[in-house]
Copies of this chain bind each other. A is one copy, B any other.
Amino acid sequence: MSWSSFYNTASRVFHEYPSWSKSVVVCTIISGGGLAAYSDSGDQRPRKKVVVLGTGWAGTSFVKSMKNSSYDIHVVSPRNYFAFTPLLPSVTCGTVEARSIIEPIRKISRKSGLDVQFSEAECYKIDSKNNKVYCRSSQDKKLGGVEEFSIDYDYLVIAMGARSNTFNTPGVEEHAYFLKEVEDAMRIRTKVINLFERASLPSVPMEEKKKLLSFVIVGGGPTGVEFAAELHDFVHEDLSKLYPSLIDHVKITLLEAGDHILNMFDKRITEFAEEKFKRDGIDVKLGSMVVKVGEKDISSKERESGQVVTMPHGMVVWSTGIGARPEILDFMKQLGQINRRALVTDEWLRVEGCDNIYALGDCATINQRRIMEDIAVIFNKADKDSSGMLDLKEFQNVVGDIIERYPQVDIYLKKNQMKEMATLLSKSQESPTTEVDIEYFKQALSKVDSQMKNLPATAQVAAQQGAYLADCFNRMELCEKYPEGPLRFRGTGRHQFHAFRYSHFGQFAPLGAEQTAAQLPGDWVSIGHSSQWLWYSVYVSKLVSWRTRALVVSDWGRRFVFGRDSSQL
C-alpha cells in the first residue's frame, strides 16, 4: 500500500466516520512523524467550496438542510433575509407586517451550526469555465463606489429565482406594480393609502376620485386572486370606516387572459371563487389580454369581441407569471440553452452541460427524459440473457429503476388506476403472456410520455429541491462509494443519487373574508369559512423559524383586535 493510497483511504474514512478518523489522528500523533504527513494530506485535499446564489425558498432550504461540515458554504444574495412569500398578498394590506414574514439568512445559517459565509450582493456573471462567479454589492453608490468581487467555487448552486414576466407589454415596467418581493408588497401598501388620501383632497373632483380608486389586477393566478381578495377586505373592513365618503367609488377589477381564474385549480374551486368575487363586487373579466398599461389607463383586448377596451386606473398590480432573470439568460446563452424558459437541468438538478453546477427553484427546469427515446436501451438492459424477449423476472428486476428514471410512468399508471407496471404490459394483450418482445414493449409504453409535466414554479417545489440537493451533498462521498440511484440504462452501474421527485402536498388560495379554497392531492377539495385558519396553520407550520411563526400569529391577533393599519408609511 503506497502512501498516496493510504491518504485516500484515511481521508475517506475521516469524512465518513469522523469518530474513527479521530482515533486515526490520535494514533498518528502517537506514532510521531506521521502527524506532518497527515496534515499535509489535509492540505492536498482542501474543503470543497459551495457557492449558493439566492436566499429564496430553494437557496434557504438548501442552506438549512446542509449538515455535512466538510464544505465551505458561501451564500450570495442581494437580500440578507429569507421571505415567506405566500404571505406577500397579506403584507400588501397590513394583515401581516413585512418584518414578520422575513428571517435574516445569517440567523438561519447560524442555526445550522456550519461555517456559512454570507455576502449581500448580486451575482451578475457566472463563468463556468473558470469556476468563478462575479458579484457586485447591491447597495447604493453613496457608500463609496460599487463594490465588486469574484468568488471561486467547487460547486455552484444557482437559486436566484425569476422575475415577473411582462410579456413585453408596453408600459408595464413603468406603470404597474409587481408582487414578487417584500419591497413590492410594501410599495403596494403605501400606494393604496396614498390613493385614498389623494382622493380625499378637497380639490379633487368626483370623476378623478373614481379614477384614483380604480384598482386593476392583471392575472387570475393565486397571487392576483389573493391580492384582490385582501384589497377588498381591507377596503370594506377597515378603510370604509376611515374614508366613508370614498367607499362607493372604489372599484376592483381582475383581468385574466384565460377562460377562468385559478385555472390550475379544480373546476369547483374556480367556480366558487368566481361567484364569490361576483358577490363581493370584484369585477372579473375573463378572456381579457392586456395590451398596454398607461400612466392613468390600461387597455386590454377582449377575446370574444376582439375589441380593445381602455379603462382608467389608479393602480395596476401585475401578477401574470414569471420569466428568466437577465443573468440567468446570459448564462443560458453561454451554455447554448436557447429558447428555454429557464436553466435546463437533469433529474439530479445538475445544469445540463456542467458537472458542478446545480440549479433549483424558479430559475431552473428539469429536462425529463422521454421513455420512448430510451426504449431500446431499456429493453436491452432489461433483457439480461439477450434473448430478444423480456420475461417477467427480467422485467421486475428493472421496473423500479424505470419508474424512478421516468416518473411519467408512475403518473400514467395512477391515472389509469393500475397498481403496477406489469398490469400495463399484460393489459395491452389479449391473452396473458410471460414474455414480450421490443415492439410489444414499445407499444405498451407508447402513451406514457403524454403524462410528462413540468413542475410548477412554486415555493413547495423550490423548498423540496433545496432539501433534496443538500441531502445529496451531505452524503456525497458515501454515495460515490455506494451509488443509490437507478440503473444507468445508457451506461454501466447506477446513478450516484436517487433522482429528485416532487411530492405535491396540495395548494390553496385564500379568497378573502376568511374563506379559503384548498386542493389536496387525490382530488380532494375544501372550500369554506373555517379553512382559512386551517390553512394559516399550514402556512405557519411551514414557516422557517419559531420567531416568524410567533410574529405572524401575533400579527393575525393584532389585526383581529385592532384592524389593519392605514398610516401612510
Interface assignment of A193: CB less than 8 Å from any CB of chain B: yes
- Is B558 a contact partner of A80 (Cβ separation < 8 A)? no
| Docked-complex contact A139 and B194, CB < 8 angstroms | yes
Q: Of A140-148, A335-343, A498-506, which stretch is located at the interface?
A: A140-148
How far, in whole Å, are A561 and B554 apart by their CA atoms in the complex?
13
**Interface contact B569-A197, CB-CB below 8 Å:** no
Which B residues are CB-close (under 8 A) to A198?
Answer: 120, 137, 139, 143, 147
Determine how many copies of this chain the complex contains.
2
Partner of A139, one of B106, B143, B197: B197
A204 at the interface (CB under 8 A from B): yes
Give the Cβ gap from A436 to chain B, nearest Cβ, in Å.
60
Instruction: List residues of chain B with CB within 8 A of the CB of A203.
Output: 147-149
Surface stretch bound by B, among A20-28, A96-104, A457-465, A518-526 = A96-104
State whether the Cβ of A164 lies closer than 8 Å to any Cβ in chain B: no
Chain A positions within 8 Å of B, measured between CB atoms, are 79-81, 94, 97-99, 102-104, 106-107, 110, 117-121, 137, 139, 142-144, 147-149, 151, 182-183, 186, 193-195, 197-198, 200-204, 208, 212, 241-243, 295-296, 547, 550-551, 554, 558, 561-562, 565-569
Asked if residues A212 and B182 are in contact (CB atoms below 8 Å), the reply is no
Contacts of A79 in B (CB 8 A): 567-568
Asked, given contacts A143-B212, A144-B296, A558-B550, whether A568 binds B81 with beta carbons under 8 Å apart, the answer is yes
Which single member of B117, B120, B566 contacts A106 (CB below 8 Å)? B566
Q: Could you tell me if B193 and A568 are in contact, using CB atoms closer than 8 angstroms?
A: no
Tell me the complex Cα distance, A98–B194, Å: 18
Please tell me if the beta carbons of A99 and B97 are within 8 angstroms of each other in the complex.
yes
Q: Is the CB of A104 within 8 A of B242?
A: yes
27 A-B pairs within 8 Å (CB atoms) are namely: A80-B567, A81-B567, A94-B99, A97-B97, A99-B565, A99-B567, A102-B567, A104-B242, A104-B567, A107-B566, A110-B241, A118-B200, A119-B201, A120-B200, A121-B201, A137-B198, A139-B194, A139-B197, A142-B295, A143-B194, A143-B195, A143-B198, A143-B212, A148-B203, A149-B202, A149-B203, A182-B569
Q: Roughly how many angstroms separate A144 CA and B211 CA in the complex, as a whole number?
A: 11
A431 to chain B, nearest CB (A): 67
A120 & B201 in contact (Cβ 8 Å cutoff): yes
Closest chain-B Cβ to A59's Cβ sits at a distance in Å of 15
Contacts of A204 in B (CB 8 A): 147
Q: How close is A366's CB to chain B, nearest CB, in angstroms?
A: 31
Once the chains bind, are B566 and A104 in contact (CB under 8 Å)?
A: yes
CB nearest to A243 among chain B residues = B106
If the complex has contacts A142-B295, A143-B194, are A201 and B242 also in contact, measured as CB distance less than 8 A? Answer: no
Query: Considering only CB atoms, which chain B residue lies closest to A183 in the complex?
Result: B569
Q: For A183, list chain B residues within 8 Å (CB).
A: 569
Q: Say whether B562 contacts A550, CB under 8 Å.
A: yes
Instruction: Give the chain B neighbours of A200 by CB distance below 8 A.
Output: 118-120
Given contacts A81-B568, A550-B561, A568-B80, are A201 and B137 in contact (CB under 8 A)?
yes
Residues of B within 8 A of A193 (CB): 80
How long is the Cα–Cα vector from A98 to B567 in the complex, in angstroms?
11
